[in-house]
Amino acid sequence: MKFRFRHIAALIPMLSIIFGCAGKVPKANTSPAKKIEIPTIEIPSFRWDRSRFINLDASHFPDSVSFFLPVSDEEKLDIDNALLVDDVFGWVEECDFSHKSFGVPNGSNVVIIEDISASMGDYVHFTDRLIWGYISTLTDAGGEVSLVRFGNDHERSVDWIVPDSFLNLSPDSIPYPNARGSDLAGAIDEALDLVAERSSSPCAIVLFSDGDFDADELPYTIIERANRYGVSINILMHGKNPKGALARLADKTGGVYLVQPAGGFSPIMVSAIIARSFHISYYPRHTDEDGLLHRISLAFPGGKRFFDEFRAPGKAPRIEIEKPSLFYEEILTLPDELLKTTVIPFDSAGNSELLPEAQAIIEAYIDGLSSLADSVEFTVKIAGYACNLGPTGINIRLSKQRAQVVRDYIEPLTDDNISIEIAWFGEMYPLNENLDETDRRANRRVEIEINLEFAR
């Protein structure tokens, strides 16, 4: 494979630290390092990992490894000059990679297709909230949205409407077709009819489903119509569905085909996937199927970096190392208040203002952040939630406002080594069942968590 020599300079600092050398056991690292003592914390599965990789697939190792990488519009990332490095126990290799780009232009009109057939079961309720949450991310972008639901029949459930007005609708107030059946082809055709009504401006289709066509049953007219209108059909699959006709439909129209990640979809994840994402395949250089851990780092010009890891097939051999691979000259212990999720209460339904109690909790949290050294770079993740009183769309907007209020309070009081990310989930993921006012009060909240990594 062709080695890109222009990146050698970028690898020198890393090589000097790790002393990696392909084909032999690496020497121990004797450079002093800091260690952060942090216990294992159970992160809820719906939390999108800060590394950003989705569905890392090493099943084709050693021939290739692939993953999805959603990125925000604000991140002006030059993927053609990015550097992918695979670190396998000190064997540090720059790896060739290929990518396919996806993205719906900002301000596009979006048709949502929702599968409510019987096979979806209780997941229909979750998908409703997921769709409303996704639409909440489109409110400032311009464009319109519409909804097609299908079971035994398909229905144009919501005609073209601006996202803000869509959020005023309750999922349960919109008719559901008979669930016993699956008119998937009819629903896609109906979505294309809606696209035809907005053919003078960019459009996209987003399908949430757990079903598929048989390989030979995908109507060719669907692909032909989509290509004629210049619309991508993006397909988000519930369950572990093998790639079939829908994957081909997404590929032929320039859309994303993605099976639900192990941790589940979230509104922010869906928004990022559809707005701008890359499907990346890289080709490992260290290809022995020896069970070793591969740490992947994808670095972009300007310093942005994403990372993940996987273990190659096979049983890892015993490796003898003369000295400890790393020793710690200084131990950095996190304050207790940073080791757990910090909950900011919002006692009243509809309230997005910080109460004095909430301000005191935030200020104590900021004191903990201030105790960390400036050399430690980390991200504070802020997530907003609501109880189940009121329309779903209103709750989603309310949870976003709560997250923004907490962010706006924290941001002016933190240093440059701290970045802040927000997400909002409405009434999704309650702490309890909303059975009474005590339950609902606990669910009206913002959660703050910290992710750490060292500055190199």
pLDDT tens per residue across span 93-123: 899 999 999 999 889 999 999 999 998 988 8
Q: Which of left, alpha, beta for 79 (phi over 0: left; psi -120 to 50: alpha)?
A: alpha
Confidence of residue 302 (pLDDT cuts 50, 70, 90): confident
Q: Does the structure show a pLDDT above 70 at 167? A: yes
**Ranges 56-60, 242-246, 321-325, 373-377: which has the least confidence:** 321-325
Contact status, residue 332 vs residue 36, Cβ threshold 8 Å: yes
Q: How far is CA 221 from CA 58, 216, 217, in A?
A: 35, 13, 11
Q: What is the pTM assigned to this prediction?
A: 0.73
Whole-number pLDDT of residue 10: 45
The H or E element spanning position 233 is strand 232-237
Dig out the tokens for 29 from the structure: 């690292």
Tokens of 368: 């903990």
Average pLDDT score, the chain = 81
Contact 97, 84 (CB under 8 A): yes
Q: Is the pLDDT of residue 382 over 70?
A: yes
Place of tokens 């009504």: 197
Digit-coded pLDDT (tens) for 123-155: 898 899 999 999 999 988 889 999 999 999 999
- The tally of CA atoms less than 13 A away on the side-chain side of residue 186 is 13
Q: What are phi and psi of 135, to 5 degrees?
A: -65, -30
Burial class (CB in 10 A: 0-12, 13-18, 19+), 379: middle
Percent of the chain whose pLDDT exceeds 90: 42
Q: Is 42 helix (H, G, I), strand (E, B) or coil?
A: coil
Domains and CATH numbers, the chain: 5-100+280-329 (no CATH), 109-275 (3.40.50.410), 334-454 (3.30.1330.60)
pLDDT at 375 over 50: yes
pLDDT band at residue 287, thresholds of 50, 70 and 90? confident
* Count of other CB atoms within 10 angstroms of residue 427: 25
**CA dihedral of 394, 395, 401, 402, whole degrees rounded to 10:** 160
pLDDT value, residue 89: 75
pLDDT given for residue 268 in this prediction = 85
- Exposure on the CB side of residue 294, measured as CA atoms within 13 A: 31
Q: What percent of the chain has pLDDT over 70?
A: 81
CA angle 438, 130, 181 (to 5 degrees): 115
- Sign of the dihedral defined by the CA atoms of residues 319, 320, 321, 327, in that order: positive
> Which stretch of 338-342, 379-383, 391-395 has the lowest confidence by average pLDDT?
338-342
In the prediction, which pLDDT does 24 show?
A: 38
pLDDT interval class at 322 (50, 70, 90) = very low
Residue type, 42: E
Residue type, position 164, single letter: D
Confidence band of 345 (pLDDT split at 50, 70, 90): very high
6-15, 55-64, 267-276, range with the lowest pLDDT? 6-15
Cβ-Cβ contacts under 8 Å for 413 (sequence gap 6 or more) = 366
pLDDT at 249: 92
Give me 149's structure tokens.
Answer: 């639901």
Q: Out of 30-44, 84-98, 211-225, 412-426, pick the least confident.
A: 30-44
Mean pLDDT of all residues in 390-401 = 88
Predicted confidence (pLDDT) at residue 2 exceeds the cutoff of 50: no
pLDDT score of 21 more than 90:
no
CA distance 211 to 237: 8
> Does 343 score more than 80 pLDDT?
yes
pLDDT band at 88 (very low <50, low <70, confident <90, very high): confident
Residue 46: DSSP 8-state: T
What is the residue whose two structure tokens read 């790790």? Answer: 18
- Between 5 and 397, name the one with better pLDDT: 397
